[in-house]
A = this chain, B = another copy of it.
Amino acid sequence: MSIETELVETIFKNLTFTFEEKQLLAQSFKKLNLPKHSLLLEAGQQVYDQYFVADGCLRTYYIDPEGKEHTVQFAIEDWWISDYTAFFSSSKAVMNIECIQDAILFKISKEDMELLYLKIPKLESFFRKKMERAFASFQKRIISNLAQSASERYLSFVNFYPNIEQNVKNYHIASYLGITTQSLSRIRKELVKG
């Protein structure tokens, strides 16, 4: 399958493009195979790209001054991932991105992105809507962090990411929920009992 077809069929499912537009897309995106355990991005690096996950699983995490990891986001098939704060402002990453399950990605640079917006205006709509959904889901997460107990957050997580639980380590989930692995263990035990 040509990369043009692949892009159009995986990333931009609901859009139609002219031949020239497809060419342009194919030139802007690069396909990437990423093995499990590899780091896609490290804190301190300049962030040029964002990545579409065609297959596999990754996570974005922040390492605090005490060295503890905090998972900000998981990304599976059909999600986008980057250190967006850095990507948007063309600055250095605060976060790390790790590949949790062998992944296939399509990457595009911010620069190419801006050019595409100019040349294919419908992409601006497409990405604005994507941002809106991402924003809404972050907002839900903030509410969940404020209003729910650890075990409620765990249940929300399992419900929201049903396909992820198998792929990730307990300490990934714990660091996403903002608790220790020990607490997660206890919570699960309680839930089985309860």
Contacts and interface: CB of A to CB of B under 8 A. Distances in A.
A15 interface: no
Contact of A84 (B94, B132, B147, B175): B132
A121 interface: yes
Nearest to A143: B62
A131 B124 contact: no
A133 B88 contact: yes
Nearest to A88: B132
Size bin of chain A's contact surface: 35 or more
A124 B178 CA distance: 36
A68 B136 contact: no
A133 B140 CA distance: 17
Q: DSSP class of A's interface residues: helix, strand, loop or mixed?
A: helix
A121 B124 CA distance: 9
A81 B146 CA distance: 19
Contacts of A94: 143
B72 A145 contact: no
A64 interface: yes
A148 B65 CA distance: 10
A107 interface: no
Interface of A: 62, 64, 68, 70, 72, 84-85, 88-89, 94, 117, 121, 124-125, 127-129, 131-136, 138-143, 145-148, 175, 178
Q: Which 10 A-B pairs have the closest CB atoms?
A: A85-B136, A70-B146, A64-B147, A138-B138, A131-B131, A88-B132, A128-B128, A146-B178, A145-B145, A124-B124
